[in-house]
Amino acid sequence: MVDPFILMLIQQTLKPIAMAIDIGTIVIVLIFLMIFIAIIATHIKVIPEYQRLVVFRLGKLIGVKGPGIAFLIPIIDRGVVVDLREFVIDIPPQTCITKDNAPVDIDLLIYMKIFDPIKAVTAVQNYVSAATGIAVTTLRAVVGDLQLDDVLAKRDYINSVLRAKLDEVTDRWGIKVTSVEIREIKPPKEVQEAMIKQMAAERNRRAMILEAEGHRQAEILKAEGRAKALEMVNEAAMKLSSKAILLQYLDTLRSIAQAPSTKIVLPIEMLTAISRWIQSISRGESEEHS
């Protein structure tokens, strides 16, 4: 028979051990519970309107989910988020050789958007890097078929050709090229200097043409003014009678006689007018006597 005193000692010794075992069990259960909740939380996805979730189950494609809440089976399912919004790829300056062997630096922007999330995930590993590489090679091919002057002048043409060729390639990746915009074209330094000189010469030529046109218009206006004045004088002279003209001659002769000169030159027209005036006076007197 066990001594009660010994039994009490055994109970007091085992009690802390039992309590420790219970606390450890609770901690382990809590840890496993937190891990389970974390796994569940990471596999509950809230997909916004502008995104889609491509789901793979044990490596096999099962479809696209979203927008809204999507549930994934832990460990078994894996989701790849795809953004459907339009994005831009900034192509750094690329040195391209034109058809006439002139190097030009061109940088451009490519605007794209995903229209098929499954193809964007399964058909290409990294569509941004792939699109960048295609854009660079296509740009060099297009510029290589053009003269330098055409490259500088036909920016819209280059944009449209690049967009069409890029869209043809990216279509199999589920990506649509919406726009291609050349941001800057830098010709060689000597070409830039020649362009500046040509632009200055063109401006000087236009200035000279405008100045000459101004002088021409001024001379035309002056000539029209003189012609108008002569026309008005002629009309006024047509209204004057021979007596009025003679009086004008006599008044002019009086002004000439007041000059210090000792010689007076009479124009032949004045003598003719005086003779006609005398004849008209003589005829008038003869008519009165008759």
Pair (182, 100) in one structural domain? yes
Alpha carbon of residue 239 to chain centroid = 69
**Rounded CA separation 204/146 (Å):** 30
- The 8-class DSSP code of residue 75 comes to T
Q: Is residue 124 part of a domain?
A: yes
The one-letter code for the residue type at 270 is M
Structurally, the chain folds into a number of domains equal to 3
Structure tokens at 91: 């192509």
Is the separation of the CB atoms in 94 and 136 below 8 Å? yes
Q: What pLDDT tens digit does each residue of the chain (290 aa) get? A: 445 655 565 556 655 555 555 666 777 777 877 877 777 777 788 899 999 999 999 889 999 998 888 888 888 888 999 999 999 999 888 888 888 888 888 889 999 999 999 999 999 888 888 888 888 888 888 888 888 888 888 888 889 988 998 988 899 999 999 999 988 888 877 665 555 566 656 666 776 777 777 777 877 777 777 777 667 766 665 655 555 555 566 566 666 566 665 565 555 555 565 666 666 656 655 555 55
Q: Is residue 266 part of a domain?
A: no
Residue with tokens 């391209």: 96
Q: Is residue 214 part of a domain?
A: yes
Structural domain range at position 47 = 17-84
Q: Is residue 143 part of a domain?
A: yes
Pair (98, 71) in one structural domain? no
What global pTM score does this model have? Answer: 0.56
Is the separation of the CB atoms in 117 and 84 below 8 Å? yes
Question: What are the tens digits of pLDDT across the range 198-254?
Answer: 665 666 677 677 777 777 787 777 777 777 766 776 666 565 555 555 556 656 666
Of 136, 164, 187, which residue constitutes the final position of a domain? 187
Helices and strands (H and E) in the chain: how many: 8, 8
Pair (111, 100) in one structural domain? yes
